[in-house]
Amino acid sequence: MDLKTITNAPAIVIRQYRPADAADTMAIFLADVTDTAAADYSPEQIQAWARPETRELSTWHAAMHARNSYVAIVDGEPAGFSDVDRLGYIDMMFVDPRFLGLGVARQLLAHVEAYARAGRLTELTANVSITARPFFERYGFTVEAKQHPVMIGVELTNYAMKKNLLSN
């Protein structure tokens, strides 16, 4: 790893999701899906996954609040978010495309893993996109199954992944 990259890396602060984060986290989700994931999914699949015209801020906030969500802040700006439930399931992990490659996802994953370990959970699980699969594998997750969920009539591909917390 290049030392210059490490010393010039911005400070990343991970904090609990707040109601005021709803618009920013929804924008991050939409940008990540429509921009970053577009390399691995067709325009039809991206539209079915993102569904920007049907997303409502109040519904988004309620879901984020219910999932034990965290927000990554870089230079005072929301840069990404993730969550982990009491069973160790990570439902979402998204990074604003402007902040890719800075360690935001790595810090978010470290935070949710620390939460899981503190709760004495034995594993983390997630349904991971084609785009995110290499990242999760880099940090100890293995593919349990290839899946083909259908969203508004459109088939996508993702992977059921798991990380054993007892052997790491």
* CATH code (residue 56): 3.40.630.30
Assigned domain for 157 exists: no
Assigned domain for 7 exists: yes
Show the domain range for 107: 3-121
Q: Return the H-helix or E-strand segment holding 62.
A: helix 57-66
Q: What integer pLDDT is reported at residue 1 of this predicted model?
A: 36
Does the model's pTM come out above 0.75? yes
Assigned domain for 19 exists: yes
- Encode pLDDT of 66-110 as tens digits: 999 999 999 999 999 999 999 999 999 999 999 999 999 999 999
Q: Taking the alpha carbons of 160, 163, 68, 47 in that order, is the dihedral positive or negative?
A: negative
Task: State how far the alpha carbon of 52 is from the alpha carbons of 14, 46, 146, 154, in Å.
Answer: 26, 10, 26, 16
